[in-house]
Structure formats: structure tokens, C-alpha cells
């Protein structure tokens, strides 16, 4: 049987919000015992089981509601009194909302790139630090940062992109920055930013427009220069300013997912 944890990994990688329902305690006669697990999608699709029947039907309903609130909850069930199940025991179910992965691709392992990778991993992003210069990657030892020692333009085609992808472009070369930006500007993502001076940004916009690489609307959706202007030249403070913007987008996106799930539930009524 396919692992429930593999299903969770697939859902998170596919930008799906799901609920993990786990029996955490039982008393008396019950269909399944402590540890039984079931995944629930907002559509009502399930994987696994916590016992079937009226209990499972109610847990699915509770799970969908829990996803809509992006929350976690423990609910107790008396199988005979509440669900008319002859086994008659008691079950406690923990329902946990599991959000999609927020993947961050950091192109460039210089001072700011390394600092951004570290603070973003600490903030819960799944971070991939990309740089063809292995000696620069070796300067970061954070076990929660995936280091990819590949040429920027070669690895682009192998990277997955979706609505939960965050992209930060900070390489050592303006031309490389623009090549990466040109590729990523057409991709699905939550955030796309490029570091640079006002002059670099102006030149990039003019070049992209004149060469028909991107239009005004597409360029307006790119955060460049990246982050909030904190009047700082320190790599760590610049990294924090970029992370602050990404967190703002992430939290707004989470609220949007909750609202969308709630609308789906209303439409079913």
C-alpha cells in the first residue's frame, strides 16, 4: 500500500492544502485503534481510513472545515450516542491542516544570497541555494538549505514552478540576472525578485520592453530592487528586508486559500 507520508509529500509539492486526521486515543470497542490515519482534501477526497461509517463521514466534514480555517483541532466522538455505531466505544481524532511547501530558489550564493537562504530556512521556507561556484556554496553550512552547484541557466529547466514558488535573483553578473529573470517571468510563482541598483532596474525594464521579453504588467509584478528599503548595506539586513516581503505574500496567499476553501464549502450548500 502506498505510504500516507508519500501522499502528504506529493500534496505539498503539488501546492495542495490537505488535512491529516489521526486517531490519538480510543476507549472500549472501536473500528480502528490509536495511530490510524486518513488524509482529507477540500473536495472530500480521502486516502487511508480512521474506521469508516458515520464516524469517518463526520471526520471528513470536520477536516474540510478545519482546512478552511487553516487550523488544528482535537474532536472526541462517542460512537454509539453520536453516530449510532454498535461498537459503542470512544475515539479522539486530531485533525491537522497541512499547507503546501513554500519553495524558495535563491540564485546566487554571495553575501546576500547566503544570508537570505539562512533566514528564509529559519522562517519555514524550503530553500534551494543555486550557484555554479561550489566554493561560495561551501561557505554556508545550514543543514536546512539545499545547495545546488549547477550553472544557473542549465538548472532552470529542471526546476518545478507553481503558485507557492518564491524566486530571488542575486547572482554576480547582471547578464545572468536578466537571463534568469527572462525565464522565470513566464513561470507560475508567488514571488519573483531581482536585486540591483535603480540604474540596473531601469536598464533591465527598457531592455525587456524593447526586446519584447516582457510587457509593463509583467515587469510591474517583479520586486526589483528586492525587499523593503531599510537604508542598509549590510547583507543580513538586506536579506531580512527581502524575507519580510516574502512572508507578507505568503501570509496573504494563505488567507486567500482559506477564503477559496470557504467559498467552495458555501457553494456545496
Q: Residues of CATH 3.40.50.720 domain(s) within the chain?
A: 103-253
Grid cell, residue 18, equals 490537505
Tens digits of residue pLDDT in 110-158: 999 999 999 999 999 999 999 999 999 999 987 889 999 999 988 999 9
Q: How far is 163 from 219, CA to CA, in rounded Å?
A: 18
pLDDT digits 0-9 by tens, 3-52 = 999 999 999 988 889 999 999 999 888 888 899 999 999 999 999 999 88
* pLDDT score for 267: 55
Whole-number percent of the chain with pLDDT over 90: 70
Q: Where are the alpha helices (DSSP H) in the chain?
A: 4-13, 53-68, 79-83, 111-122, 134-137, 152-155, 174-184, 198-210, 216-220, 235-268
pLDDT for the residue 78: 83
> Does residue 205 surpass a pLDDT of 60?
yes
Residue at grid coordinates 454498535: 86
Specify the pTM: 0.80
Assigned CATH topology for domain 103-253 = Rossmann fold (3.40.50)
Place of cell 536546512: 144
pLDDT band at 89, cuts 50/70/90?
confident
- In this prediction, residue 231 has a pLDDT band, given cuts at 50, 70 and 90, of confident
In this prediction, residues 93-102 reach a mean pLDDT of 92
pLDDT recorded at residue 255? 61
Other Cβ atoms less than 10 A from the Cβ of 235: the count is: 16
Q: What is the pLDDT of residue 269?
A: 47
**pLDDT score for 86:** 65
Q: What is the pLDDT of residue 187?
A: 95
Amino acid at each position: 500500500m502506498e505510504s500516507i507520508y508519500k501522499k502528504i509529500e506529493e500534496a505539498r509539492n503539488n501546492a495542495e492544502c490537505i488535512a491529516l486526521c489521526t486517531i490519538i486515543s480510543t476507549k472500549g470497542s472501536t473500528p480502528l485503534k490509536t495511530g490510524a490515519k486518513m488524509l482529507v482534501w477540500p473536495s472530500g477526497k480521502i486516502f487511508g481510513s480512521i474506521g469508516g461509517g458515520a464516524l469517518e463521514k463526520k471526520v471528513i466534514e470536520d477536516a474540510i472545515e478545519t482546512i478552511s480555517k487553516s487550523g488544528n483541532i482535537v474532536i472526541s466522538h462517542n460512537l454509539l450516542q453520536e453516530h449510532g455505531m454498535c461498537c459503542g466505544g470512544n475515539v479522539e481524532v486530531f485533525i491537522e491542516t497541512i499547507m503546501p511547501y513554500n519553495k524558495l530558489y535563491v540564485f546566487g550564493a554571495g553575501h546576500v544570497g547566503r544570508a537570505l537562504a539562512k533566514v528564509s530556512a529559519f522562517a519555514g521556507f524550503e530553500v534551494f541555494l543555486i550557484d555554479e561556484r561550489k566554493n561560495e556554496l561551501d561557505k554556508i553550512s545550514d543543514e536546512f538549505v539545499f545547495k545546488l552547484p549547477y550553472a544557473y541557466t542549465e538548472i532552470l529547466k529542471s526546476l518545478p514552478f507553481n503558485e507557492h514558488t518564491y524566486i530571488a535573483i542575486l547572482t554576480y553578473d547582471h547578464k545572468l540576472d536578466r537571463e534568469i529573470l527572462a525565464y522565470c517571468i513566464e513561470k507560475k510563482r508567488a514571488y519573483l525578485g531581482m536585486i540591483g541598483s535603480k540604474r540596473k532596474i531601469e536598464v533591465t525594464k527598457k531592455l525587456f520592453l524593447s526586446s519584447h521579453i516582457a510587457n509593463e504588467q509583467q515587469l510591474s509584478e517583479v520586486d526589483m530592487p528586492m525587499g523593503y528599503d531599510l537604508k542598509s548595506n549590510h547583507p543580513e539586513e538586506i536579506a531580512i528586508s527581502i524575507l519580510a516581503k516574502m512572508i507578507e505574500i505568503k501570509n496573504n496567499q494563505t488567507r486567500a486559500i482559506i477564503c477559496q476553501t470557504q467559498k467552495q464549502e458555501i457553494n456545496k450548500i
